[in-house]
Amino acid sequence: AGGIFRGAHLPAYPEIPEAKIVALCDVSDSNLNATLKRMQELYLARAERAEKEGDKERAEQLRQDLKEVRVYKDFRRMLRQVKPDLVDVCTMPDTHHLISVEALRQGAHVMCEKPMARTWLECLEVVEAVSETGKFYQHNENWLFDPVYYTMRKVIEAGLIGDVVAIFLNTSHMGPENMPHFWDPMVDGGGALLDNGVHAIGASWFLAGLEKRPQRVKAAEPSGITIRMRSRILGGTYREFKVEDDGHILIWFEDPDSGAWATAHVEGSWSGSDSLPTMVIGTSGVIRLSVEEGRKFLVITDPSGNERRIEASGPTWTFWPSSFYGEIKNMCQCVIEGRKPLSDENFGAEVQAIVGSAYLSQREGKRAITLDEYKEWALKIKRKHGRKAPEVLIREQLKCLG
C-alpha cells in the first residue's frame, strides 16, 4: 500500500468494474492510513460520477466496496483469511519473489511490479511456483500498455516500416534521492538499469516482436554501465553508493525459426539521458516520437523522406495513469477468461536475465554475453552457495562497477 500502489495502481481500480479490492496489506500503519484515505477519495468521486452518468448500481457498489475492504499487516494472514483471486504486489524488490511465490501457492493469481525480483535466480522460484500451481503471473510492465508503444507496435505490424532492424529506447531521470533504499543493492538488486531500464528492455522486446528471443547482450560503448556521480545526498547527507546510476546496453533479439533479428539500444539512467531519442528503424522506414503541446505523435518517414503522422492512442486510455490501468484491466480479464498474460513469468525472468547479462558483459570488458552463458554462470553460483546465492550473485554482478 505504498507510493507506487497509491499513486499509480489504486486510481485504476474504481474504473474497472471487474475488480474489487477486498484487502490492503502493508507493514506500515502510515502507508495503510494514507492509502485508505486516498481510496476513499477516489471511490467516492467515482461513485458521484457514476450517479451523474445514471449508473446508480455502480455508484452503490463502489461505496459498498469501501465499507468492506479489510486491512492487514501480515500478508500470510491476509492470504489465509481473505483468499483473494488476485494479488497485486507493489513492495520493495527484495520481497517481490517471496510474496509472489507464497500467494501463488496459496491459490491466488499474481501480478507484480518490476523488477520481478532482485536476481534471475529468484525469478526462477516464481517460474517454478507458476508451473506447480497452474496460476497466472503477470510481470507488470506498464509500457506494454502505454499509447506510444502500443501504437508503435500497430504501425510495425501494419508493415509501414518493413522489418524492424534497430530500436532506441531510454528511460531516465536524475535519481530517486528521496528514497535511499533504491541505492541499496541488497534491497533492489542493482541500480538504474534494474530499476527503470527494465521498462525500455521490456518495451524493446515488445517492439522487436515477442516471437523473437533475447540471445546476446552487451554493455554498450563508450560508457556501458557506470557510476557517473560518485556521491549524492541520500538521507540528508552526501554518501557514496555501490549501484550504477547510468547504463547503456545492446540487446540482440532473434527469431528461432526464421533467423530474423533486431538490435535494441537501451538506456536506464538516474543521471539524465544521453542516448539517441526514441526511434524504431525498419528496412523501409523510421518511426520517431514527437511531443507537441502535451500530445504524442509518431512521425513515420519512408526512404524518400515522406512523412506520415499518427497520434498515439489506444482502447484503454480514457483513464490516467493509462498504462497502469491497462495492465491491471488486462490481468483481471486474463483471470476471468482463463488466458495467460502477455508479459508472463517467463517474460519477466528473461528481462531479468538481460540485466544480469549486461552486468556480466560490463564486468568482462563489455564482451557480448549470451543469455545461456549468463544463466550457467548464475546457476554455478547457486550450486556453490545455495540459499545465499542471490546475495552472492548481486555482489558478483556489481563488481562490474570496479
Identify whether residues 334 and 191 lie together within a single domain: yes
The grid coordinates of residue 129 equal 511456483
Residue 157 included in any domain = no
Residue type, 395: R
Same domain, 112 and 261: no
Say if residue 131 is in the same domain as residue 193.
Answer: no
Query: Which CATH number belongs to the domain containing residue 199 in this structure?
Result: 3.30.360.10
Task: Tell me how far apart the alpha carbons of residues 135 and 116 are, in angstroms, rounded to a whole number.
Answer: 16
Instruction: Please say whether the beta carbons of 247 and 268 come within 8 A.
Output: yes
Q: Is residue 147 part of a domain?
A: no
Q: Are residues 310 and 342 in the same domain?
A: yes
Enumerate residues 6+ apart whose C-beta is below 8 A from 391: 186
**Pair 169, 260 in one domain:** yes
Q: Is residue 69 part of a domain?
A: yes
Does 133 share its domain with 184?
no
What number of other Cβ atoms are within 10 A of residue 331's Cβ? Answer: 23
19 shares a domain with 108: yes
Residues 103 and 197 in one domain: no
Regions in the chain scoring below 50 on pLDDT = none
The predicted structure's pLDDT at residue 291 = 94
Q: Where is the domain boundary, 107, 142, 177?
A: 142
Same domain? 84 vs 197: no
Instruction: Read off the pTM.
Output: 0.96
Residue environment code for 274-306, b if the CB has 16+ CB neighbours within 10 A, otherwise e: ebeebebbbeebbbbbeeeeeebbbebeeeeee
339 is in which domain, residue-wise? Answer: 117-123+163-402
For the chain, what is the domain count?
2
